[in-house]
Homo-oligomer: A and B are copies of this chain.
């Protein structure tokens, strides 16, 4: 039997395994088992092995957020860009059933391996949100803090939703944060 994959498919499949298992928890054999890609295919696409797989997965996630969230926040009409951010986030994390791979990598020592992409992902997100809030009329001093609160809320809600196995927590938490951001505009 022989199934043919393309590299973009491979990245998406591998991403899901890292998301579920973490970097250390995702062994090559669990990756082959869950993605149905053989070792040969994996090392064909990612000659650099597990580290390259994770690096490309991080880049792939970052690119998605850049396209759907960061760029709109940076360039589009702020009110609409912020609204789009909330729907994109809710959609992406599937009510907290899916976690933030980059946030998860940040917690243990795999952070050191991928420090730069992890850091720039969160920095770009907070900077972009702060800029959009400011353009939207949020008072000067409040923008930075609200942006940090919003992104921390998202990350924290993911932890809580998984820990308590309760999807409603994620949506409720996001709903409240969305209102807080809106209420600080002029």
Residues on A facing B (Cβ under 8 Å): 20-25, 99-100, 102-104, 106-111, 115, 118-119, 121-123, 145, 148-149, 151-160, 162-165, 169, 172-173, 176
Contacts and interface: CB of A to CB of B under 8 A. Distances in A.
A172 B122 CA distance: 16
12 contacts: A21-B109, A100-B159, A103-B107, A103-B163, A107-B107, A107-B159, A107-B162, A123-B164, A149-B176, A152-B156, A155-B155, A156-B156
B148 A109 contact: no
Nearest to A170: B152
Contacts of A106: 159, 162-163
Given A119-B165, A122-B160, 6 more contacts: A22-B22, A25-B108, A106-B159, A107-B162, A122-B163, A151-B160
Contacts of A118: 163
A122 B164 contact: yes
Contacts of A24: 21-22, 24-25
Number of copies: 2
Contacts of A169: 148, 152
Contact of A151 (B145, B154, B156): B156
Contacts of A158: 107
A159 B99 CA distance: 12
A159 B103 contact: yes
Nearest to A30: B109
Contacts of A103: 107, 159, 163
A138 B107 CA distance: 33
Contact of A157 (B109, B152, B163): B152
Contact of A22 (B100, B107, B145, B163): B107
